[in-house]
Structure 1
Amino acid sequence: MLQPVDLAIREVHIGLWFLVVGYYFYVFTFLLMFRWRESRNPFQLAMALFFLLLAIGRCFYFVGDFYADPSSLYNDLTSVFGMTPLLPDVNPWLAAGALFQWMALATLSATAGFMIFGKRWAEIAFAIPAILIGIILAVVPMEPLVKGILSGGAGAIYALFIPLLFWYLAYQSGGILRRSNFLLGLGFMVLFAGRVIHALRHALADVIFGTYTIPGVLAPGLIVIGLILIATGNEWGQAQ
């Protein structure tokens, strides 16, 4: 029997997110073992921890998105082939994923605070909002709409703040460091764009694309491109 087209598309989406998770772990290992170990630069350690937390969070999201969420079984997979999710409840997986992903943003925000002000209090002040949001999303019972508004609204703020920070640093610096910061800002912008598309994949499929295929490929594709830009920008900064 031929494999259903929808199942093949789903497997492509799964493979792309495997690639994203693998790249997260790869960047973490590279920054920790080959950059921070040599330079002892706190920025490299913070970036490594950021990608580790992203990787762990995405693992939970991966299980929830593809093995506990009924909406991941596209079109005929449920109505014709009678497929059902492997796991009964998606909420614990999404809650754990949100917690780790927001802890990653807290790490990056703390680093941003130190880069701007050079003070310990700035690290703490910049990290606290992301930590609180992560804990609230993980443990506080909320209606899906309220949770979506909180996560989406706060996520949009961070998606703008982090790239703008690096572009501000690029404006303030020069030479290779300017190009490095610009590329880091662009990389984070593209990465966050991919995350937004994934979060809105159902709405995009219904309203714009008419299928899950395009947002399902576009989201992880943008994240991988963003990671490549971030890794390149980090290397340029290391060469400074």
Structure 2
Amino acid sequence: MMQTIDMAIREVHIGLWFLVVGYYFFLFIFLLFFRWRNTRNPFQFAMALFFLLLALGRAFYFVGDFYADATSLYGDLPDLGVTVFLPDAAPWLAVGAFLQWMALATLSATAGFMIFGKRWAEIGFAVPAILIGVILAAVPLDYWTRTALAGGAGFFYALFIPGLFWYLAYVSGGLLRRSNFMLGLGFMVLFAGRVVHSGRHYLADMIFGSYTIPGVLAPGLIVIALILIAVGNEWSTKG
């Protein structure tokens, strides 16, 4: 009976992450073909590229988490009698991490240019995320080093990116202020969802007792974040 319930929960988790990937692609298509094509606003193009990279990265994570390594997402998945399709999740997770950090580099560069209006700021804000993405994807690291690097850098950007947009909200006014505030809030919720997903094993073992709640909470937060970001982005076109 428990195996049936656990498998049903796993299918719910798969569906939620599939929804996240689909939403990423939807926002990419909407921003590129229905916003940037009409306005030629570089911010709209950067946001479209950001969501495209997130979608591609999450698609690789999706395969690695659910269909490659039986222990990559659920520590006890082999006990459910699940046979994975692919033998090794590492390449999928490495490419996924690289693409997601490239998305973050794109977002950082955009925010830097919006604040300073200079090419050096755009490059300077992007370089750290690019380096982290390359290291996580290509450099052999032990588990704790990789976790510390990804977690520490992720925590920094979880504060840094929303802070940039809230600074822009502070120095702007009217609808643009609300837009930047909403974007900052959306990105904070987005990073919160990513933190929950990264810490799913700890949360399952030490707090919730199973993967059910972390598995629903992480994609749920990301979907909420995408709605907030979409609203903020829409307001930016009218500000």
Same fold (TM over 0.5): yes
Provide the residue aligned with 1:130 in structure 2. Answer: 129
Match of 1:46 in 2: 46
Alignment check: 8 A CA contact 1:184 1:233 kept: yes
d(CA) in 2 for partners of 1:164 and 1:13? Answer: 31
Equivalent residue for 1:154?
153
1:164-210 Cα deviation digits (max 9, x unpaired): 11111111111111111110000000011001100100100001100
Count of aligned pairs: 238
Q: Look up the match of 2:29.
A: 29
Give me the whole-angstrom Cα distance separating, in 1, the residues matched to 2:218 and 2:151.
Answer: 16
The one-letter amino acid of 1:233's match is G
Matches of 1:3 and 1:205, distance apart in 2: 17
CA distance in 1, matches of 2:27, 2:81: 39
Equivalent residue number for residue 206 of structure 2 = 207
Quote the Cα distance in structure 2 between the aligned partners of 1:96 and 1:53. Answer: 11
Cα distance, 1:67 vs structure 2: 1.1
Q: Is the 8 A contact 1:73 1:83 kept in 2?
A: no
Moved over 4 A (4+): none
Superposed displacement of residue 78, structure 1: 2.8
Give the match's secondary structure for 1:70. coil
With normalisation by structure 1, the TM-score equals: 0.96
Distance in structure 2 (CA, Å) of the matches to 1:53 and 1:134: 12
| Change beyond 3 A, Cα 1:160–1:2 | closer
> Which residue of the partner structure matches residue 197 of structure 1?
196
Partner of 1:121: 120
Does the residue aligned with 2:62 lie in a helix, a strand or coil? helix
Displacement after TM superposition at 1:84 (Å): 3.0
Displacement, 1:90? 1.1
Letter in 1 for 2:185: L
- The aligned residue for residue 91 of structure 1 is 90
In structure 1, the residue matched to 2:69 is: 69
User: Aligned equivalents of 1:74 and 1:124: distance in 2?
Assistant: 39
Instruction: State the Cα deviation string for residues 136-180 of structure 1 (Å, max 9, x = none).
Output: 100100101101110110111111111011111111111111111
Offset at 1:69?
2.5
Partner of 2:59: 59
The answer on whether the counterparts of 2:182 and 2:229 sit within 8 Å (CA) in structure 1 is yes
CA positional deviation for 1:74: 6.3
The TM-score normalised by the length of structure 2 is 0.96
| Partners of 1:38 and 1:205 in 2: CA distance | 46
1:217 equivalent in structure 2: 216
Whether contact under 8 Å (2:75, 2:201) holds in the other structure is no
Structure 2 residues not aligned, in runs of 5+:
none
Deviations 1:52-90 (A, max 9, x none): 000000000000111123224565x533x5323221111
Residues 6, 74 of structure 1: 8 Å contact kept: no
